[in-house]
Amino acid sequence: AQRVTQPEKLLSVFKGAPVELKCNYSYSGSPELFWYVQYSRQRLQLLLRHISRESIKGFTADLNKGETSFHLKKPFAQEEDSAMYYCALWARGNNRLAFGKGNQVVVIP
């Protein structure tokens, strides 16, 4: 079975400071990892996926299979980054996304 762990529920950072959201996973196969974001009063949406290796809205995430981690990083937080962030794992053949419990990020002006 797959499992995703996001250790910190709430993260407060000052505008301009770096932000890092930790995500660790447990899965015996080859995982597909994602970060989803939910802004206030908006629907959950895909932020980025490990396989595309993109930087979206200044965020990056690197899959580290040795440490089974997929941490999300941004060097300079902006107020509009305040949101709920979920790390998710998709297991091939399982047809489901397993989500972590989420990180609430608050960017202080």
Amino acid at 100: G
| Least distance in angstroms from the C-beta of 32 to another protein | 6
Minimum CB distance to another protein smaller for 22 or for 78? 22
The span from the CA of 49 to the CA of 11, in Å, is: 22
25: left (phi over 0), alpha (psi -120 to 50) or beta: beta
The span from the CA of 78 to the CA of 76, in Å, is: 7
Minimum CB distance to another protein smaller for 10 or for 109? 10
Contact residues: another protein, CB under 8 A = 32, 34, 42-46, 49, 51-52, 86, 90, 92, 94-102
| Least distance in angstroms from the C-beta of 16 to another protein | 29
Cross-strand partners of 24: 5, 69
| Least distance in angstroms from the C-beta of 39 to another protein | 12
Minimum CB distance to another protein smaller for 6 or for 82? 6
